[in-house]
Amino acid sequence: MDENTKRQIELHSAGATVRHRSSFEELVHYSNGTKLEPDFIKKWCVPFYMFQINNTNEFIEKLKPIKDNLNTDVVKNLLGDFNWRTRIVGAYFSTIMDLKEVEDIIGIHLLKSQVCYAGTGYCLTLASFNTKNGIEYLKKYLDYYLTQKHLHFDQRDAMSALKWTDQLNGTNEMEKYLDLYKDWVSDKYAQNLEHSFEGFKSQMESLNKIKTAYNKDLS
């Protein structure tokens, strides 16, 4: 197998299944620069991306024995890895720890959309933080990606995230994107926005349950 083929397989496995150039191409994203050690991935990623947050009790049980070692460096290492699995777990932990100092890392990751699946985690985290800065990232994402009809990325999650913050803040930012969304979704299927929000809400409730347990020492 030649090096180029090997590299393409690695990228696909990491989640770079759709290659695209966007207006965010020049944004500098956070990167570790080196691969994570297998033991680190086994400890901090594998148990949590496999169970994810919908299996809340399993997530909490897996976190209990290592909770005291969870810190900002762990989260940044997860977010700085080029793989959807590590990045989505990094987003989960950011939400659970309310780690707003990584908001720009997550926001830029969302805008660049380098790997699949992780965008859902980014949107959940930005909605959970509910800051003006985080909401602006969601709006910038929708401003661009709702005009890209050929890209079926995390538009529904970003819309759901805005609806979540609208309900918290008494605003109507999501409604401003409905016309763009209807145009983007016109040639697609299974894009019911209410169903998307219900799924998003369920995931947020799971994260909040884990967050509450984390703040109570996972009791």
Distance CA 105, CA 118 (A): 13
Residue 56 CA neighbour count, 13 Å, CB half: 15
List, in sequence order, every beta strand (DSSP E) within 87-187.
none
Instruction: Report the chain (219 residues): mean pLDDT per 10 consecutive residues.
Output: 39 44 86 94 93 88 95 98 96 97 98 92 98 98 95 94 98 96 80 91 96 86
Residues 67, 214: contact at Cβ < 8 Å? Answer: yes
Residues 162, 135: contact at Cβ < 8 Å? Answer: yes
Cα-based distances in Å from 16 to 1, 22, 111, 115, 169: 20, 14, 14, 4, 35
Which pTM does this prediction carry? 0.89
> What pLDDT is recorded for position 83?
94
Distance CA 174, CA 192 (A): 15
Kindly state the tokens that stand for 195: 């169903």
CA-based max dimension of the chain: 56
Q: Where are the domains of the chain?
A: 35-215
Residues 17, 83: contact at Cβ < 8 Å? Answer: no
What does CATH list as the number for 35-215? Answer: 1.25.10
Rg, C-alpha atoms of the chain: 17
What end-to-end distance do the CA atoms of the chain give, in Å?
Answer: 50
> What pLDDT is recorded for position 3?
43
Cα-based distances in Å from 182 to 14, 50, 193, 199: 31, 33, 10, 19
> What pLDDT is recorded for position 219?
60
How many helices, marked H, and strands, marked E, lie in the chain? 12, 0
> What pLDDT is recorded for position 22?
77
